[in-house]
Structure 1
Amino acid sequence: MREIAKQSGILQALLHYHFRTKERLFDEVIRRRAAAISASHERLVDKLFVENDNPSLEQILGVFFSTSNVARSSSGNVPCSQLMTSVQMRADEPSKAVTDKYLNDIARAFTEAFRICVPGLSLDDAVLGYLLAVGVRAYTHTQNERASRLSGGAYGGDVLEQIVMKAIQFTRVCT
């Protein structure tokens, strides 16, 4: 808490007053960011279903990845987006608890949307598709230029858009 207060430029007593513990602070950070991302996802997916009775898997995945782009660009939130992504992939109890509490509803909504878009898609396959998409999104937040190094330079700079388009195409082929 001392280091968080120091880097935030606030008094540690103020941080303790509002959150009491770093676990409660962690919970609040994840709750706030998850609420914003989930609301954006939900609004965009609902809009797709209103405008098109049967949106394509590509459109649903476009929504999934578009919020990733918004999260990265808004207010310099790359570190926050990286935190949200890493929390979903960690196995420690606090991370699992906030993932279950704040992120599972929107994950279920996406898996259901996948199943609507791809008739006959099993729940297991929809969950796997969602997890693969989370993995791609996680990579896009690393900003380590690995795609460029692995591809001999075919991917360069901010590869988010390039990777998203390829992931959407790849997912369609796999379903």
Structure 2
Amino acid sequence: MRRRTGPGRPEGPSDLRERILDAAERKFGNLGFDGASLRDIAGEAGVTQALVNYYFQSKQGLFEETYRRRAEMIGQDRLARLAALKLQPTPLTLPELIEAFIASILSLRGSPGGRAFIRLQARLNLETGRAALRMRRESYDSSTHAYVQEFRRCVPHLTEAAAYIRFVLMVGAYLYAVSDTNRLDELSKTAANTADLMAETVAFMAGGFEAVAAPVGSASARPRAKRRA
């Protein structure tokens, strides 16, 4: 007879909690927070809704735990990659930094669960509520600030404000490219492999970080007047 490991704890396989999180990742990634119900998630996991509530207390609790499970690992992996780069005998380069930052996300394209998380994260990045802001802050702020500091060392002309603007543009660009919407494949008429996507993304972002912005009010910064036909 299986022994209970805590008062009231349900008996069953040790991976039951992970199974619920896997199902939640797929449902939240595909349907969003509002579109996915606890009943749907329980059915996907093959458990009762009561068991989902036992482990996570609420839909919000389940959503946050589903997000943190991968997001915190991504943040830690980014810091580990940055630390490894700093041990190199040669100075860090901008392409190396960008590749290290986006490698964790690109690697998720190799599994259905990983792709579901990318979609979940893309959805969450459009949310402005306190919970969404807190979740992103807790998971990513440490690695974000560390990388932006190194970006500025590679591109000395960037002010702190400009560096963060370009960082946010970078995040938006790579999330859209890898969000599994199939838009890229549809446009190019071919499936983009991860190696090509990494190379092109790094080249595009490096150019963006290194660009010298035209001064506000200069002729090149002003929109051109439409020519009359």
Q: Same fold (TM over 0.5)?
A: yes
What 5-or-longer segments of structure 2 have no aligned partner? Answer: 1-37, 211-229
Q: Structure 1 residue 15: deviation in Å?
A: 1.0
What does 1:17-56 correspond to in 2, within 5 Å?
A: 17-52=54-89, 54-56=91-93
Give 1:172's aligned residue: 206
Normalising by structure 1, report the TM-score. 0.85
8 Å CA contact 1:41, 1:64 repeated in 2: yes
SS, match of residue 121 in structure 1: coil
What 5-or-longer segments of structure 1 have no aligned partner? Answer: none
Sequence identity percentage: 23
Q: Distance in 2 between matches of 1:118 and 1:18?
A: 47
Encode CA deviations 1:24-74: one digit per residue, 9 max, x unaligned. Answer: 111111222111111111111110011145211100001122111222225
Give 2:217's aligned residue: none
8 Å CA contact 2:106, 2:198 repeated in 1: no
Q: Distance in 2 between matches of 1:121 and 1:131?
A: 14
What does 1:1-175 correspond to in 2, within 5 Å?
A: 1-52=38-89, 54-74=91-111, 76-150=113-187, 153=188, 156-174=190-208, 175=210
Q: In structure 2, do the counterparts of structure 1 residues 52 and 23 end up closer, same or farther at CA, with 3 Å as the change threshold?
A: farther
Runs of 4+ in 1 over 4 A off after TM superposition: none
Q: For structure 1, which segment, 137-146 or 110-119, has the greater mean C-alpha deviation from structure 2 after superposition?
A: 137-146
8 Å CA contact 1:71, 1:77 repeated in 2: yes
8 Å CA contact 2:95, 2:203 repeated in 1: yes
8 Å CA contact 1:140, 1:159 repeated in 2: no
Q: Distance in 2 between matches of 1:107 and 1:119?
A: 18
8 Å CA contact 1:58, 1:168 repeated in 2: yes
Q: How many residues align?
A: 172
Q: Distance in 1 between matches of 2:158 and 2:77?
A: 25
SS, match of residue 68 in structure 1: helix
Q: Structure 1 residue 128: deviation in Å?
A: 1.7
Encode CA deviations 1:93-152: one digit per residue, 9 max, x unaligned. Answer: 3322211222222222221121122223211122122112211221223333333544xx
Letter in 2 for 1:146: R
Q: Distance in 2 between matches of 1:4 and 1:56?
A: 44
Give the structure with the higher percent helix.
1
Q: For structure 1, which segment, 24-33 or 140-149, has the greater mean C-alpha deviation from structure 2 after superposition?
A: 140-149
Q: Distance in 2 between matches of 1:28 and 1:144?
A: 24
Q: Distance in 2 between matches of 1:57 and 1:80?
A: 27
Normalising by structure 2, report the TM-score. 0.67
Letter in 1 for 2:192: D
8 Å CA contact 2:122, 2:176 repeated in 1: no
Q: Distance in 2 between matches of 1:107 and 1:158?
A: 27
